[in-house]
Amino acid sequence: MNKDQTLDILKTINYPGFNRDIVSFGMVKDISIDGKTIVVNLNITSQNEEKKSTVIESVKNKLADHFEIVSVELTADVLKQQSPPSPSEQRPITESILSGVKHVIAVASGKGGVGKSTVAANLACGLVHKNLTVGLLDLDIYGPSLPIILGINEQPKMTQDRKLIPLERYAMKVMSFGFISGNDTPTIWRGPLVSRMTEQFFRDVEWGKLDYLILDLPPGTGDIQLTLTQKLRMTGAIIVTTPQDIALADVRKGADMFRKVQTPVLGVVENMSGLLLEGSIKDLKGTKIPGGSVVLSDGKVTQLDSDGSFKLKIDLFKQGGGVAESNRLGVPLLGQIPIAIEIMESTDAGEPIVYKSPESSISQIYLSIVDSVLSVIE
């Protein structure tokens, strides 16, 4: 039996509590076969020991019929290899002001224009879809976009003790600098003011009790990121990229920054992963042509459904960039989101697609990413 056959067997093992297998979750890091002996290297980043044991036993049981000796090894746990700060280094915001928030997750990107805010909004909606209490904080002070993505054009009110009350939209609490400054107002601030404003979004906002607070960070590794890593104890970071090499190079910088400040990188999301096209083939009379296949100009063949409709993905940039980078970083590739007109339409309408059409194929990709994130954390 070779590695590919072994992977096919491992794909039948679902991670406990999910309808997704351990291979697609990126947990199988290496397979070594020597005759009747096999060593499977797993990277299970969950801190739930019971789930770890269940996966290990399932791997051993599945492979026992094919190998005399089955050994399962675990790589360094991403969530445990980061040593916690000493008591003198504890970050005060999380422990005091955000004491009602169970998990804080940063959605980051090494460069702008990769669709990070759209991803953050839809992931937050995905968590709401899982019946979790969620907050979404837009920390891109220089170019806040969540007011547009969520269709919000109002200002937050204040409590009697002068704290901002987050606006509520799509069953989650939302705050953005754009709510205060006006989304059309340019912002020209120096570093110290940016850091102070960032901290106020935690200290002076009434977040209450939340399962998850999602942070939509500005691109890059500037003042806001530095303030967060110094002041917050974050559960982890999700890095959004596109397949191009120039975007992937910036991913490495972002990942290195988070790791240096002891914030686990939960995984990579490859956005704009090809162009998704859907349509139908008709004859000259306008009648749909059922079944069959169509050969594209690049030689690829796409199958037609019984009603003549088709769905295909065209790789506009390159293939495999997100996979290669997640492997290099030793973290899961959480998902690949294609360019699709429905994402553009729902975003421009101020209604995230996961909320608008949770059953759509695009929403299912987002919800699968949410499942992956939850599996890593829990």
Q: Give the end of a domain, one of 265, 289, 314.
A: 314
Most confidently modeled of 137-146, 160-169, 318-327, 349-358? 349-358
- Are both 266 and 186 inside the same structural domain? yes
- Are both 52 and 129 inside the same structural domain? no
Cα separations in angstroms, 174 against 100, 108, 197, 304, 319: 16, 18, 16, 43, 35
The Cα 131–Cα 284 span in angstroms is 49
pTM reported for the whole predicted model = 0.70
Write out the residue range of the structural domain in which residue 93 sits. 87-273+317-377
Which neighbouring-strand residues pair with 61?
none
Comparing CA positions, the residue from 276, 266, 264, 269 lying closest to residue 241 is: 269
Query: What is the per-residue pLDDT for 91?
Result: 44
Q: Is residue 356 part of a domain?
A: yes
* CB of 130 closer than 8 Å to CB of 372: no
Q: Is residue 80 part of a domain?
A: no
Which neighbouring-strand residues pair with 310?
279
Q: Please list, in sequence order, all residues whose beta carbon lies within 8 angstroms of the beta carbon of residue 341, skipping any fewer than 6 positions away.
A: none
Q: What is the mean pLDDT of residues 267-285?
A: 79
Q: Residue 370: what residue type?
A: V
Query: What is the per-residue pLDDT for 35?
Result: 86
Q: Is residue 222 part of a domain?
A: yes
Q: Is residue 201 part of a domain?
A: yes
H runs (alpha helix) in 160-276: 177-181, 191-203, 223-231, 245-260
Q: Please list, in sequence order, all residues whose beta carbon lies within 8 angstroms of the beta carbon of residue 36, skipping any fewer than 6 positions away.
A: 67, 68, 69
- Are both 156 and 51 inside the same structural domain? no
- Are both 246 and 131 inside the same structural domain? yes
Helix (H/G/I), strand (E/B), else coil: 359: coil
Confidence at 27, pLDDT banded by 50, 70, 90: confident
Comparing CA positions, the residue from 323, 299, 266, 244 lying closest to residue 47 is: 266
- Are both 146 and 235 inside the same structural domain? yes
- Are both 130 and 192 inside the same structural domain? yes
Q: Residue 124: what residue type?
A: A
Q: Is residue 365 part of a domain?
A: yes
Q: What is the mean pLDDT of residues 312-330?
A: 75
The Cα 62–Cα 370 span in angstroms is 27
- H or E element, residue 128: helix 116-129
Query: What is the per-residue pLDDT for 230?
Result: 66
Summarize pLDDT for 48-77 with one digit per residue, the tens: 788 888 999 999 999 999 998 898 988 754
- Are both 154 and 188 inside the same structural domain? yes
- Are both 133 and 68 inside the same structural domain? no
Q: Please list, in sequence order, all residues whose beta carbon lies within 8 angstroms of the beta carbon of residue 259, skipping any fewer than 6 positions away.
A: 82, 265
Summarize pLDDT for 170-202 with one digit per residue, the tens: 999 999 988 876 555 444 444 455 667 777 788
Q: Please list, in sequence order, all residues whose beta carbon lies within 8 angstroms of the beta carbon of residue 76, skipping any fewer than 6 positions away.
A: none
> Which residue is associated with the tokens 């968590």?
127
- Are both 141 and 263 inside the same structural domain? yes
- Are both 62 and 149 inside the same structural domain? no
DSSP annotation of 77 reads: P
Output the average pLDDT for the chain: 81
- Are both 354 and 300 inside the same structural domain? no
Count of domains observed in the chain: 3
- Are both 254 and 136 inside the same structural domain? yes
> Which residue is associated with the tokens 């059953």?
359
Summarize pLDDT for 142-173 with one digit per residue, the tens: 778 899 999 998 888 988 888 889 999 999 99
> Which residue is associated with the tokens 């040593």?
83
Residue 34 buriedness (CB in 10 A; 0-12 / 13-18 / 19+): exposed
Query: What is the per-residue pLDDT for 221?
Result: 63
